[in-house]
Amino acid sequence: MTFSQCIRRLCAPVGTVEPLSEMEAHELFAAMLDGGVQEMELGALLAALHLSPRSAQELAGFHRAATERSYCLNAPLGRLRPLVIPAFGGARRQHNLLPLLAMLLARLGVPVLMQGPLDAGGRVGAVYILRELGVLPSATVAQAQQALDERLIAFLPVAALCPGLASLIGLQPRLGFPTAGHLVAPLMDPFGGEGMRLVGAASAAETETLGGFLAASGANALLLRSTEGDPFADPFRRPRIEFFADGDAHALFEEEAAPVDPVAGLPERVEAAATAGWIRQALAGDAPIPHPLVNQLACCLYACGYTDDMNQAKAIAAVETSSLSPVVDRRRRPPPRLPTPLPR
């Protein structure tokens, strides 16, 4: 199938678009990643893909092409699965608490690899907040591997992981809309299937598409509704959190029926320095961590193998974040004794 045929097929009237097969999607995306599509045709193809609905089989083809062109890392020694956290969104109105989740997990011994662009496009990206917290992006895959082995947390730019994906993502300012690369990049597992992916969906339709892909591909992942493009639980209302183990899915938490009370102490501004300052307070036990994020922490501990019992994961997360005691009480008595992490 030529590029022009593909464009005509994807631009068919609404309701008559025939999805690409997995093989067709693989060949098309491979050509895009390899720079084998001329600029005019590439723009038309990306626009057509943006406007037409995605299917799980198309996403599988895109993902396979990107995986074949990505570099790999080794999972740190131990029995815990490394958690792969994509950071492709960024704060506009709500504070970006994705770095808080990552640092809580690393503190408990879970290896965390964050991956995404270095430029958040005017938003307050996780990469900016991590810089304020002393976690600098790695320049190469080898540097990310070293940081992961030594400190259990690393940020790997998508340009270092898969240059072709970074090129497609970088076209957004010129095109005015997210490209297919924005949907594929957060699904990458640099550990060759050994990682646990944290996947965020922007809408109900995207949740269905991503869930279908994760189930069909036999993935290990946590799927939830994203917060301003990043996969952390909305601190004002916990989303449904679904766990995929070798493709089999079940919900660990259902969506909350109503919003919860605002988080006390959050700074008025969402900028990186202010958010990082509050995260330091939260990690020190001087600020309350939103309970939706505590729930997500429990899901991550369970999914990564910290414990094989979800109720125990909830208890560990509660104690680790001191969510069982009010902030004022924590200041008057010694911090709670944390459970010993399972052997790595």
Residue 241 belongs to domain with CATH number: 3.40.1030.10
3-state DSSP assignment of residue 126: helix
Q: Are 60 and 178 contained in the same domain?
A: no
Q: Which of 240, 173, 231, 183 is nearest to 53 (CA)?
A: 183
142 and 224 housed in the same domain = yes
12 and 123 housed in the same domain: no
Residues 6+ apart with CB under 8 A from 87: 98, 114, 115, 116, 125, 126, 127, 155, 230
Q: Is the pLDDT of residue 33 over 70?
A: yes
Four-residue CA torsion sign, 251, 257, 258, 264: negative
User: What local confidence, expressed as pLDDT, does residue 121 receive?
Assistant: 86
Count: domains in the chain: 2
Q: What is the reported pLDDT for 156?
A: 97
Q: Is the pLDDT of residue 339 over 60?
A: no
| pLDDT beyond 50 at 331 | no
Range picked from 13-17, 54-58, 208-212 for highest mean pLDDT: 208-212
Q: What is the DSSP letter of 74?
A: P
Going by C-alpha positions, the residue among 216, 247, 268, 246 that lies closest to residue 55 is: 216
pTM of the model: 0.89
> Count of H helices and E strands in the chain?
16, 7
pLDDT at residue 110, rounded to an integer: 97
pLDDT band, residue 52 (cuts 50/70/90): confident
Residue range(s) defining the domain that contains residue 170: 73-344
Strand duo 221-225 + 241-245: pairing? antiparallel
pLDDT tens digit sequence for 144-199: 999 999 999 999 999 999 999 999 999 999 999 999 999 999 999 999 999 999 99
Q: In whole angstroms, how far apart are CA 340 and each of 35, 106, 148?
A: 50, 14, 21
Residues 6+ apart with CB under 8 A from 122: 90
* Rounded distance between C-alpha atoms, residue 235 and residue 219, angstroms: 27
Mean pLDDT for the chain overall: 90
211-221 per-residue burial string, b: 16 or more CB within 10 A, e: under 16: bbbbbebebbb
245 plus 159 within the same structural domain = yes
196 and 113 together in one domain: yes
Do 325 and 294 fall within a single domain?
yes
Q: Are residues 215 and 105 part of one domain? A: yes
Q: Are residues 22 and 107 both part of a single domain?
A: no
Q: Output the six-digit token pair for 230.
A: 């990043």
Q: Are residues 182 and 290 in the same domain?
A: yes
Within 10 Å of residue 42's Cβ, how many Cβ atoms? 20
Residue 337's CB is within 10 A of a number of other CB atoms, namely 7
Nearby residues of 53 by Cβ (< 8 Å), 6 or more positions away: 17, 19, 205, 209
Q: What pLDDT, on the 0 to 100 scale, is given for residue 305?
A: 96
Mean pLDDT across 9-30: 88
Q: Is the pLDDT of residue 282 over 50?
A: yes
Token pair of 226 as six digits: 């994203």
Task: Name the DSSP class of 76.
Answer: P
User: Among 123-137, 215-229, 282-296, 323-337, where is mean pLDDT lowest?
Assistant: 323-337
The dihedral built from the CA positions of residue 8, 13, 14 and 19, taken in this order, carries a sign that is negative
Q: Do the beta carbons of residue 84 and residue 197 sit within 8 Å?
A: yes
Single residue among 68, 84, 107 that ends a domain in this structure: 68
Strands (E), 136-227: 153-157, 196-201, 221-225
Q: Of 68, 96, 120, which marks where a domain is finished?
A: 68
Q: What is the pLDDT of residue 267?
A: 86
The distance from CA 214 to its chain's CA centroid, rounded to whole angstroms, is: 14
Percent of the chain with pLDDT over 70: 94
260 against 24, higher pLDDT: 24
Residue 260 in this model has a pLDDT that exceeds 60: yes
What pLDDT is attached to residue 340?
A: 44
CA distance 62 to 30: 8
Is the CB of residue 223 less than 8 Å from the CB of residue 201? yes
pLDDT at position 343: 45
- For residue 30, the domain's CATH number is 1.20.970.10
What pLDDT score does 261 carry? 74
Q: Tokens 């202010």 appear where? A: 274
Verify that 57 and 206 share a domain, yes or no.
Answer: no
Residues 14 and 82 in one domain: no
- The answer on pLDDT for 63 being more than 90 is yes
Point out the domain boundary residue: 35, 68, 101: 68
| Residues 93 and 236 grouped into a single domain | yes
Taking 60 as the threshold, does the pLDDT of residue 333 lie above it? no
Locate the DSSP E strands across 256-344: none
Give the pLDDT confidence of 73-88 residue by residue, as tens digits: 999 988 899 999 999 9
Pairing type for strands 112-116 and 241-245 reads: unpaired
The pLDDT-based confidence of 208 (bands split at 50, 70, 90) is very high
Split at pLDDT 50, 70, 90, the class of 325 is very low
Tokens representing 329 are 């009480």
Rg value, the chain, Cα: 20
